Amino acid sequence: HVQLVESGGNSVQARGSLTLSCVISGLRLDDYCLGWFRQIPGKEREGVASIDDDGTITYEDSVQGRFTISRDNAKNTLYMEMNNLKPEDTGTYYCAADRETRRCTSARGEHDYNYWGQGTQVTVS
């Protein structure tokens, strides 16, 4: 049974920082494509960052240089450190996983991921 549980969302002021965590059970992190998405009400989820099975990382342009995705295989946890947060970063953040590791980039659509967490809210004011 695969389960993803996010935490770490909060309300912060602009230029602040947060670190999101996603504890994943039921799969090996380094066998999967892992991603972080965010969603604003009324819009589709957009990919923010991804890390594939061999550790290759990609970012959506607006977060490049501010966000850092990482994974700890021993702790079965995916992270995203977010610095210099902006109001436009506000949204619900989801972690996702999929066994298909080809084309594992931040541009990969939400429909190409099989497993999802429940989301954690980030509000930047």
Task: Give, as one character, the DSSP assignment of residue 31.
Answer: G
Q: What is the mean pLDDT of the chain?
A: 96
Which of 45-53's residues contact partners 24+ apart within 8 Å by CB, and which partners? 45/94, 45/110, 47/105, 47/106, 47/107, 47/108, 47/109, 47/110, 48/80, 48/93, 48/106, 49/80, 49/106, 50/104, 50/105, 50/106, 50/108, 51/78, 51/104, 52/101, 52/104, 53/101, 53/104
- Quickly state the pLDDT bin for 17 (edges 50, 70, 90): very high
Q: pLDDT per residue over 38-97, tens digit each?
A: 999 889 999 999 999 999 999 999 999 999 999 999 999 999 999 999 999 999 999 999
Q: Quick one: pLDDT band at residue 20, thresholds 50, 70, 90?
A: very high
